[in-house]
Each structure stands twice: as C-alpha cells, then as structure tokens.
Structure 1
Amino acid sequence: MPMNVRRVLLLLSVFCMAQVAVAQTRSGSAGSKGQTLLPAGEAPSLGTVDWLRRMHAASRQRTYVGTFVVSSPTGNLSSSRIWHVADGDQLLERIEALSGAPRSTFRRNDHVMTFFPEDKVVKSEKRENLDFFPNLPGAPDSTIGEFYDVRLLGKGRVAGFDADVLQLAPRDGLRFGYRVWSERRSGLVVALQTVDVEGRVVEQSAFSELQFDAPVKTHALAQMMGNTAGYRVEKSELERTTPTAEGWALREPVAGFKPVNCYRRALDGVAKPERTMQWTFSDGLASVSLFVEPYDAQRPAREAVMTMGATSTLARRLSDKGGDWWLTVVGEVPPQTLQAFAQSLVRTR
C-alpha cells in the first residue's frame, strides 16, 4: 500500500475505530452504557489516563456521519467521508475517499475490506489490533502517564460542536506531542494536531462536518461490504508468531514502547508470508512497526529515512554471519525513535 494511502487510513482510525477490548472509563465517568454525556458547559476534571479512556470509549459508543480533512505543512491534503455505526458489540464503518485514487474501506470489528474500483480489486484482511487514537493497551494500570503529561488548555469549537482542548506533552524526545479537541459532551476526538519538540504542527486532522446519531443502518453497511461481485478478492493472511521463533530480539527496549504483536505477513501481497516478520510496538498513543525480510539482491533497495507528516520510515540493510536482511521501520514518531529501534534490533540465531 502506498505510504500516503496508509497514512490516510491510519488517521481515519484516529476518529473512527477503537479496538474491541477497550478499557471502560472509571466510575464517575461511566453511565449505563459506559459513557456519560456531560452538560454543555461542564469540563471533566481527569488525569491523563482517564482523559484518554474517555476519548477512547466515545468512538465505540457513538454513531455518526462526518467529513474530515487531513493536512500537513508541506501542502498534502486529503479528505474522506465516514459512516460509523456502534450497534452493541458490533462496530461498522464505511470510509469513502474524497481525494486521490477512488477507494472505499469497510470495517466490521476486526475485518477490513478496501475496494479499489479502478482496478476491480478488493483487499481483505483481519486485524487484531487496529491503529487508532488514543491507542491504549487497555490495562487499568497503564503506564502512559509516565511518558505524557496532559493539560486542559481551554475551550474550542469544531464542526459546530463545543470541545475541550487538551495538550498531551511528551516527557522525552522519543515521541510527538498532541493537541486534541474532545467534543464536550461525549468525549469524541473531533480534531487533532501532532506537534514536534519545538511545538510546530507536523500534521493535523479535523472534522469539517459531523452529525451524531445519524440514521445509518448496520445491515446496509454489512450488505455493501459483502458485495464483491465483479471484483477480485485478495486476502492477506496473518500468522501469529514470536520474535524469538523468528530469531530476533531487541538488545535494549526503547523507553515506553511495549510489544503489541508479531506476525508473519507479506509486505507487497506477493512475497510469501513466512518471509516477512512484522513486530509492532506501542507507547499507548504512538505505534512503531518493524518489518524484517531476507535481503533480495535481485531487487536492490535504497537505504533511507523519510518523513511525511507525522509518519517516518527508515529502510536499512542488516548483515550478520547468518545472512543479509532488509529492515523497514515505520511509525508516527520522530526519526530518532526509529533509529533507536533499528540500532537495538539483533539476530539471535
């Protein structure tokens, strides 16, 4: 998947998707459905973890339709239309790209299908851990407060809705900071700015139009998702594994980042899944993925570090007595964080 497409889909999940095993808000913040709607003029007094859990829960418990825009200081601009339905234990979405190549992405819990009408191709995959914001691990004793401080900056207004404006400031240079607009009554994230260590905005996203409790039918989205007539369906199968089984380890952990999962998979839909390892880490907000595959001398690639918006990519050749490997590290973090992962990765067999 092209990096600009991947980043757009990642940012879509900032607003649209939370993982199934979400930690509920603490007592006092939760109502009969796990989320209290606050009076319009009242801002909750919460700690770092509680603010994030409130925003996290809102994306699971509200149904809405909206249009949002993603932009960066370099002039990149993307927009999409979202239909998001929360129906008991079922989460369904339709995400229609309004810019770039035509594509429609449907999500039903952990099942994701992306339709490319120009190529008449549907890419289907299961994702146990969907990227979203905030990406809380779900444990009540989350350590995210050790690496970020939260401060209520004041009030704002996005797409006609009153919002609490928060600042999530990192305590070191390994992660970005965030300014978040959380809809006052529900807690839903309606705008987000990613900022670097000097406070400069590197990427921002916001709803330009939003309607809560829109009349979207679960069965209608499910029918659209299942209508693959005339398309070639390409399934991406992930096989769970461990870094130890694949012969890899980190010499030293990168502060704050915990391993989330590890799979064998294909990077380009062509290579055999057993040839590529994907090892993913998260600090509770940002995520980093390490892709390792045998180096192919017939397809030489350039070593590089690239940045687009908040996403950085590092590509490097690794060599040891066991052979040559190609490492790709991708994350919504500063480039030095990717360097820390690359320098710590070692072959164990």
Structure 2
Amino acid sequence: MIARQAGVRSTWLACGLLAGVMLGMAAQAAQPLAPSGDVQAFLQQVQKAARSLDYAGVYVYQQGHTLQSSRLVHLVDGTGERERLEILDGMPRECLRQNSVEQCLLPERKLVVIQPARSDHFPGLLLGNAQAITAHYDWRTSSHTYRVAGRECSVSELKARDRLRYSYRICTDVETHLLLKSQTLDPAGHLVDQVAFSSIRVGADVQPAALTTHWDTRNWQLVTESSAPTDLQAQGWRFTLPPGFQPVAELSRQIGPAHAVDQLVVSDGLAAISIFIETFDPKRDQNIRQGDLRQGAANIHRMRLASYWLTAVGEAPAQTIRDLARAVQYVPQAAR
C-alpha cells in the first residue's frame, strides 16, 4: 500500500506504543481461517466505508523511530468525494481532492501541484480486485474487540501465504467498518510500519468548512502533472510479474515541461508496486545511486537498462522488488 503512500502517514509516546503491543496480543488469539467468500465481502465493506462515509480526524504513521501525524477530512456530497489531507509534522503540506483530481499545496515554495488523485492512502485498503486476494492471503479473525481513538474495533489478519508479500493486521470499526488501524508485518512476522487514527469523528459532526484551506494561493505558481494511458509492450518493454500481481495501470506522466516518465502499476489487491521508466540524462542522473533503498514498508530498486532509468518501488519485501526490476527486458524497435 505505497503507495497508502502514496502515496506517500502522532505522537504515540508510551500510550501509542502500548496500543501497538495490545493489538498484537489480540491478533495472537486469532480464530480458524474464515471462508474465502467472507473475506472478499469484508474487504469490500471496509473499502466502501473509506469512500462513502463522512469522517475527520488525525492519524499517525509510525515507521521505525519516525512518527508523522496527518489531519484528514473526508466528505461525500452531491459532487462526489471531497478530501483534505494536511501533514502536521515537518514542512507544511496539504492536498485537496475532488474525486479523481487533487491539488497539493507546498507553502514554502508557494507552489500548487495539480495531479491525478491517489486512492491508495489510509484508510483505504483495496488496490484491485478482492477476488485475487484469497489465493495469496489467509484471513484470520479474532473474537476480541479493541479500542482505537475511543472506538470499538474488530481485529483480523491477512497473512501472506508466501514470502513475496507482506502480511497485514487490521482493526476495523465495529459500527461503521471504517479501517482505524493497520500494521504491516514482514515474512518473519516483525512489525514494518503501522498507521492508526489517534482521534476521529464520523458522520454529521464533520462540517464542509473543514475542507477549506487557510493558505492564500492566489499568487502561487501553478504546475499541472498530467497522465495518459500508454502501451509499454508496444514500446518494447517486457515484464515478468510476481505470482498474484496483475497490471492495474500503464501511464505516461508529464512531470514538468521537459520530463516524461512512464509508469506500470501492478497489484495483488492489497500491495502495489510501480515501475517507473525514464530516459537517462547524464547531467541530471549521474549522481543517482543504483541498487536498493528502503523507507518503512516501501522498498526501492534503481538500475540502468540501456539508455533508461528503471525504478521499482512498492510495499513488498526487498527481494520481490529487486527480482521484478531485474526481470524487466527492453527490446528496441529495430531489433524487433
């Protein structure tokens, strides 16, 4: 869920860390596996809650020793989905979404970036077809309930059946099915990262005025990042995908006046991996390091292939990202 990055996640201190331990203890009391049809309906219910409910609150993303808090407001009205996401730590950043388009405000640069909206951030959960999930994850439910941000939630675990992907431990609101907390676990069962609401309001208490930014952007620079569907195979690119991962999108993205990037997005329904392809520029790219990088649950592998830069990034184990990138082939037009 990079993405869920997004991409692209407050202060827990003693109480927050204890909360993580308690959620882990609750998951250890998991019941036998639930029927596969039930998990599909359950995940779709959780996804529907994230997209159709009105809610506002602060959530905290914890990655190692790093904590980042964000304020999220989500409303659904006659115009569709509207959302405001404000990063509360570090440099001020804010994104305002209207359905599939968002404006991201960067106050320190007095810059507004208009771009296609991402749908993979918390509390969203699904990234593709839920039917494929049952082939690669076991769903374990717990008879225990737990409290997150003052609300009762049910604990369950989506445990990966192989080492190609992470497992997820989640807590969903008993009343509304909204995802309140999610933990990412590596193949050894160790906590990679976690995100949870520290406060939340649901329903009529959420007012449209909460969607309004306090920044005056009238004299700020405006940059539009556009994207269009593309056919990477027709361009000569060949990909070998990990089992369970299917293409979700093939896009050509225009980032700035003279910088185009092609992107392949693949997903197994819960995890997403992107491969970015861009022409190698010796002046711009000569100091970029090849190899592996890691940021929380997201692993990155960069490499040169012919006259291109390949960057594979996603919330999956490093070996999965590395193998996917190294299996990419490029067959130039002339050779074909």
Asked if these proteins are the same fold (TM beyond 0.5), I'd say yes
Instruction: Give the distance between the partners of 1:344 and 1:225, measured in 2 at CA.
Output: 47
1:288-347 CA distance string (max 9 Å, x none):
00011122222312112111110111111113xxxx211101101111111121122111
The answer (yes or no) to whether the contact 1:47–1:150 under 8 Å persists in 2 is: no
Match for residue 301 of structure 2 among 282, 304, 314: 314
User: What TM-score, normalized to structure 2?
Assistant: 0.83
Name the structure 1 match of 2:45: 54
Name the structure 2 match of 1:295: 280
- SS class of match (2:176): coil
User: Shift of residue 214 of structure 1?
Assistant: 4.4
Instruction: Give the distance between the partners of 2:127 and 2:311, measured in 1 at CA.
Output: 24
- SS class of match (1:238): strand
User: Shift of residue 219 of structure 1?
Assistant: 7.4
Instruction: Give the distance between the partners of 1:156 and 1:220, measured in 2 at CA.
Output: 29
Instruction: Give the distance between the partners of 2:210 and 2:139, measured in 1 at CA.
Output: 40
The answer (yes or no) to whether the contact 1:92–1:218 under 8 Å persists in 2 is: no
Q: Does 1:264 align with 2:261?
A: no
Q: Does 1:235 align with 2:224?
A: yes
Q: Which amino acid aligns with 2:119?
A: L
The answer (yes or no) to whether the contact 1:123–1:235 under 8 Å persists in 2 is: yes
- SS class of match (2:76): strand
Alignment of 1:325-344 (within 5 A): 325-344=308-327
User: Shift of residue 7 of structure 1?
Assistant: 6.8
Q: Which amino acid aligns with 1:326?
A: W
Q: Given the superposition, is the C-alpha separation of residues 205 and 264 from structure 1 closer, same or farther in structure 2, using an over 3 Å criterion? A: same
Q: Which amino acid aligns with 1:310?
A: A
User: Shift of residue 220 of structure 1?
Assistant: 6.9
Alignment of 1:72-221 (within 5 A): 72-73=63-64, 75-87=65-77, 90-127=80-117, 130-132=119-121, 133-138=124-129, 142-153=131-142, 154-218=144-208, 221=211
The answer (yes or no) to whether the contact 2:127–2:272 under 8 Å persists in 1 is: no
Name the structure 1 match of 2:328: 345
Structure 2 gaps of 5+ residues are 10-33
Match for residue 238 of structure 2 among 228, 249, 262: 249
- Whose relative contact order is higher, 1 or 2, with alpha carbons under 8 Å and at least 6 apart? 2
1:223-259 CA distance string (max 9 Å, x none):
6599741211110011210112332121x33111110
Percent sequence identity is 32
Q: Does 1:285 align with 2:270?
A: yes
The answer (yes or no) to whether the contact 2:83–2:98 under 8 Å persists in 1 is: yes
Instruction: Give the distance between the partners of 1:60 and 1:226, measured in 2 at CA.
Output: 26
Q: Which amino acid aligns with 1:264?
A: S
The answer (yes or no) to whether the contact 1:164–1:182 under 8 Å persists in 2 is: yes
Match for residue 304 of structure 1 among 273, 276, 291: 291
Name the structure 1 match of 2:58: 67
The answer (yes or no) to whether the contact 2:141–2:155 under 8 Å persists in 1 is: yes
1:87-131 CA distance string (max 9 Å, x none):
25611111111101001111111011111111110010124x622
User: Shift of residue 213 of structure 1?
Assistant: 1.2
Q: Which amino acid aligns with 2:110?
A: K
Question: Considering only aligned residues, what root-mean-square deviation do their CA atoms show, in Å?
Answer: 2.4
Q: Given the superposition, is the C-alpha separation of residues 281 and 53 from structure 1 closer, same or farther in structure 2, using an over 3 Å criterion? A: same
User: Shift of residue 270 of structure 1?
Assistant: 5.5
Q: Given the superposition, is the C-alpha separation of residues 220 and 82 from structure 1 closer, same or farther in structure 2, using an over 3 Å criterion? A: closer
Q: Which amino acid aligns with 1:258?
A: Q
Structure 1 gaps of 5+ residues are 13-43
Q: Given the superposition, is the C-alpha separation of residues 60 and 225 from structure 1 closer, same or farther in structure 2, using an over 3 Å criterion? A: farther
Q: Which amino acid aligns with 1:135?
A: L
Instruction: Give the distance between the partners of 2:215 and 2:94, measured in 1 at CA.
Output: 13
Q: Given the superposition, is the C-alpha separation of residues 123 and 138 from structure 1 closer, same or farther in structure 2, using an over 3 Å criterion? A: same
Q: Which amino acid aligns with 2:295?
A: M
Q: Given the superposition, is the C-alpha separation of residues 315 and 59 from structure 1 closer, same or farther in structure 2, using an over 3 Å criterion? A: same
